[in-house]
């Protein structure tokens, strides 16, 4: 095996190796008459300006290992930034809107409002989008984390502050809510008063919680009735 062939073999061994190879291991695999050091130097210089380089890794004072590695200066081209557009689930959108309007709000409170448990991924997705962040802890048993929206959230929706979010009346005026005649309106106004109060002081908020609890029972009842109607 001539020197040219030896270089080729060395190159192939280094390429196929699953981790940096120690010189001792290389020597075992190369012909016994090979000038390993000289070959390694030559191979290294062949690759000096290339996209792939032969690196020496000093394992101890007397022992080196060698491996091919892609050139450092190309590393920025070796990673791809890919924009993946994801669709938000309905649960995620609703959760986000509740956090926006009710912040700071705990997970349990969100579940109360929506009337269903939050699946694990829902908050994760909102976190991934960096639209929500933990705000602090509620001073109640268990000290649950409260959540609020981020600057990124405001950016995305082009808002200056969360106070710019339209209130219920504005939503209705812009046709976003189904309008309900008479009685519904009164109830809405009253419950809204309760909600608006909740933003700052905690006591109101707790009052609201109680209301929400009742509400949930009723809501279930309504749903039951609906089910029955459907079964008919």
- Out of 159, 162, 197, 199, point to the residue binding other proteins (CB under 8 A): 159
The pair of structure tokens assigned to 56 is: 């020496």
Total residues at interface with other proteins (CB under 8 A): 88
Euclidean distance between CA atoms 43 and 10, whole angstroms: 8
Euclidean distance between CA atoms 134 and 147, whole angstroms: 4
Contact predicate 137/143, CB 8 Å: yes
Window 47-76: residues binding a copy of itself (CB under 8 A): 49-52, 68, 70-71, 74
**In sequence order, which residues have a C-beta less than 8 Å from that of residue 58 and are 6 or more positions away?**
64
Euclidean distance between CA atoms 167 and 22, whole angstroms: 70
**Partner whose footprint covers residue 203, from a copy of itself, other proteins, none (CB < 5 to 8 Å by kind):** other proteins
Euclidean distance between CA atoms 118 and 138, whole angstroms: 19
**Partner whose footprint covers residue 216, from a copy of itself, other proteins, none (CB < 5 to 8 Å by kind):** other proteins
Scanning 1-9, 30-38, 39-47, 215-223 for contacts with other proteins by CB under 8 A, the matching segment is 215-223
Q: Between 72 and 111, how does the x/- string for binding to a copy of itself read (CB under 8 A)?
A: --x--xx-xx------------------------------
- Out of 48, 183, 228, 230, point to the residue binding other proteins (CB under 8 A): 183
Euclidean distance between CA atoms 26 and 118, whole angstroms: 57
Q: How far is the CB of 83 from other proteins (least distance, A)?
A: 3
């Amino acid at each position: 095996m001539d020197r040219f062939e030896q270089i080729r073999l060395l190159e192939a061994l280094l390429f196929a190796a699953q981790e940096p190879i120690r010189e001792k291991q290389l020597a075992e695999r190369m012909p016994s008459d090979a000038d390993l050091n000289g070959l390694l130097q030559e191979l290294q210089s062949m690759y000096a300006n290339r996209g792939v380089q032969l690196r020496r890794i000093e394992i101890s004072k007397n022992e080196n290992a060698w491996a091919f590695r892609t050139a450092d200066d190309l590393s920025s081209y070796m990673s791809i930034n890919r924009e993946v557009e994801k669709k938000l689930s309905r649960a995620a959108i609703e959760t986000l809107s509740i956090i926006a309007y009710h912040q700071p709000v705990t997970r349990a409170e969100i579940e109360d409002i929506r009337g269903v448990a939050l699946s694990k991924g829902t908050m994760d997705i909102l976190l991934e989008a960096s639209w929500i962040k933990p705000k602090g802890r509620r001073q109640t048993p268990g000290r649950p984390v409260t959540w609020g929206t981020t600057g990124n959230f405001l950016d995305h929706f082009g808002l200056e502050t969360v106070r710019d979010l339209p209130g219920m009346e504005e939503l209705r005026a812009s046709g976003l809510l189904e309008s309900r005649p008479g009685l519904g309106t009164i109830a809405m106004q009253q419950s809204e008063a309760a909600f608006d109060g909740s933003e700052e002081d905690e006591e109101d908020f707790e009052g609201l919680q109680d209301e929400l609890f009742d509400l949930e029972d009723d809501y279930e009842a309504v749903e039951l009735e609906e089910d029955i109607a459907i079964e008919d």
